[in-house]
Structure 1
Amino acid sequence: MTYWTKEIFNTKKPIIAMCHLQAMPGDPGYDKAGGMKKVIEGARKELHALQDGGVDGVMFSNEFSLPYLLKVKTETTAAMARIIGELMSEISVPYGVNVLWDPYASLDLAAAVDGKFVREIFSGVYASDFGLWNTNCGEVVRHQHAIGAENVKLLFNIVPEAARYLADRDVAEIARSTVFNHLPDALCVSGLTAGTVTDADVLKRVKGAVPNTVVFANTGVRLENIEEQLTIADGAVVATTFKYDGIFQNNVDVNRVKTFMTKVKDFRKNFE
């Protein structure tokens, strides 16, 4: 079966690397002295390290806008648009965006910067670290079409980080009903937080429930488990393992990226 991922990334089982943006105007951790110039230069270094390391795609996110909002402020989307806009001529791989945790803002940003995909929480009701987390996928998709972003691929995170479904639902059941009701372009399966390994058994159950839908391993993919994860999943979203010493807060280490991608490319030969 040929998935849309092959058309965008020109490979099976693509690796989408996260380009984590530092805190921006309005964020508690924003470096006002360094200003946006410092944020942009940091993003530029991260982008080039990921691309030089050989990743298949990049997803820009406001990862250090902690603590996250469920309805993002305008200044965050505006800052991200400026950063990506200034870097656009240097981006050499397919890219998408994730404005944590606001699907409307993610789509607005994707439309503004020609992003090919977004990852978000589009469906479900959760008890989370951010409070009660509700969604309205029908409204979001209508907004997507209203702003001319209907070709932007929607990656649904169905096992949200730091959250749990209010109802006691089986993950395979969630996968099947999400695909039936919302027609997602892909499902993302996560661990508890960034860097936490995605449970291979959960990943297997989700993929088994929706064999004709793209399924990504969304967190905790590492050098030692990449073969196991990609045997099941159709690709992976990777961030923490690309950073110095594999620590979330650190910058990207191009050598770790190269080592990881060399193993991935060798493993992918089995699926050609």
Structure 2
Amino acid sequence: MSWLKDVIGTEKAVIAMCHLRALPGDPGFDAAKGMNWVIDRAYDDLTALQNGGVDAVMFSNEFSMPYLTKVKAETAVAMARIIGQLMTEIRVPYGVNVLWDPVASFDLAMAVDAKFIREIFTGAYASDFGVWNTNVGETIRHQHRIGAGKVKTLFNIVPEAAVYMGERDICSIAKSTVFNNRPDALCVSGLTAGSRTDSATLKLVKDTVPNTVVLANTGVCLENVDEQLAIADGCVTATHFKKDGVFDNFVDGDRVSRFMDRVRSIRQ
């Protein structure tokens, strides 16, 4: 039995993304609408996700594009305000993801009592954001310095919009990541948010590290959830839950309900 049962309440867990709209400091932030509009939209999406029956939610600054690999203070502060105001409404376990800054994610997790974070913890990449480096040793030491040792770590080992600078196959990456870092889960992704995770790649990772939780991280939908959850221990889902399955739209509760009905039948 994996930690998913203890922390989220079920195996084959569905972690739904609650995508926060652009925040102060982001190019897309609408100062005229202000933070209250952002909070109201997050409340609407959270309500639709929870009423649809998801197992957990993860709050991310998804509309902070283009992303930073070291975020500004105003981003994490704004996220803390939003989650703090929503906290009395949250009925399921929740995590956070400050894109793409694992130190800020740990800080936010401690501020809002989040159970898990998802980040790019390891590797060096050529990416849309330029040359992207990480420092997992320092990051994990920061986790323990601030008392976040119980926060579960979801390591994204197929970064979106990026490739490893060295020639490494996915099995080698999975094996060394688990050996060196003891992650709580590995996340396997497509190229961008909403892009389907390749099932063959997902199976290679799970076969390589069978004792580690492996999550399908992007593109899981009603049409492929049977196949994906036959391999993975769970999934992180966002775009499929939105109106018409379009990334920029808000969450459609009916789509969430249909998906979760299917997942419950898979579990049985």
Unmatched tracts of structure 2, length 5 or more: none
* CA distance in 2 between partners of 1:129 and 1:248 (Å): 19
Aligned pairs for 1:58-97 (under 5 A) are 58-97=57-96
**Structure 1 partner of 2:120:** 121
* CA distance in 2 between partners of 1:136 and 1:25 (Å): 27
**Structure 2 partner of 1:57:** 56
**Runs of 4+, deviation exceeding 3 Å:** none
Does residue 155 of structure 1 match 2:160? no
Does residue 216 of structure 1 match 2:212? no
- 1:8 to partner: Cα distance: 1.1
SS at match of 1:96: strand
* CA distance in 2 between partners of 1:255 and 1:85 (Å): 27
Aligned pairs for 1:101-180 (under 5 A) are 101-180=100-179
* CA distance in 2 between partners of 1:56 and 1:216 (Å): 14
Q: For each residue in 1:44-75, what CA deviation from the matched residue of structure 2 results, as whole angstroms up to 9, or x when unmatched?
A: 00000000000000000000001100100000
* CA distance in 1 between partners of 2:211 and 2:56 (Å): 22
* CA distance in 2 between partners of 1:250 and 1:44 (Å): 15
- 1:3 to partner: Cα distance: 0.3
SS at match of 1:215: strand
**Structure 1 partner of 2:206:** 207
Amino acid at match of 2:6: E
* CA distance in 1 between partners of 2:219 and 2:265 (Å): 20
Q: For each residue in 1:89-141, what CA deviation from the matched residue of structure 2 results, as whole angstroms up to 9, or x when unmatched?
A: 10000000000000000000000000000000000111100001101111000
- 1:223 to partner: Cα distance: 0.2
* CA distance in 1 between partners of 2:158 and 2:144 (Å): 25
Does residue 16 of structure 1 match 2:15? yes
SS at match of 1:177: helix
SS at match of 1:17: strand
Does residue 234 of structure 1 match 2:233? yes
* CA distance in 2 between partners of 1:34 and 1:125 (Å): 38
Identity %: 67
- TM-score, structure 2 as length reference: 1.00
* CA distance in 1 between partners of 2:101 and 2:204 (Å): 27
SS at match of 1:41: helix
**Structure 2 partner of 1:195:** 194
Q: For each residue in 1:126-178, what CA deviation from the matched residue of structure 2 results, as whole angstroms up to 9, or x when unmatched?
A: 11000011011110000000111110000000000000001111101100000
**Structure 2 partner of 1:250:** 249
Q: For each residue in 1:187-213, what CA deviation from the matched residue of structure 2 results, as whole angstroms up to 9, or x when unmatched?
A: 000000000000000000000000000
Amino acid at match of 2:39: I
- 1:229 to partner: Cα distance: 0.2
Unmatched tracts of structure 1, length 5 or more: none
- 1:184 to partner: Cα distance: 0.3
* CA distance in 1 between partners of 2:249 and 2:9 (Å): 30
- 1:10 to partner: Cα distance: 1.3
Amino acid at match of 1:227: D
* CA distance in 1 between partners of 2:149 and 2:127 (Å): 29
* CA distance in 1 between partners of 2:40 and 2:9 (Å): 29
* CA distance in 2 between partners of 1:124 and 1:75 (Å): 26
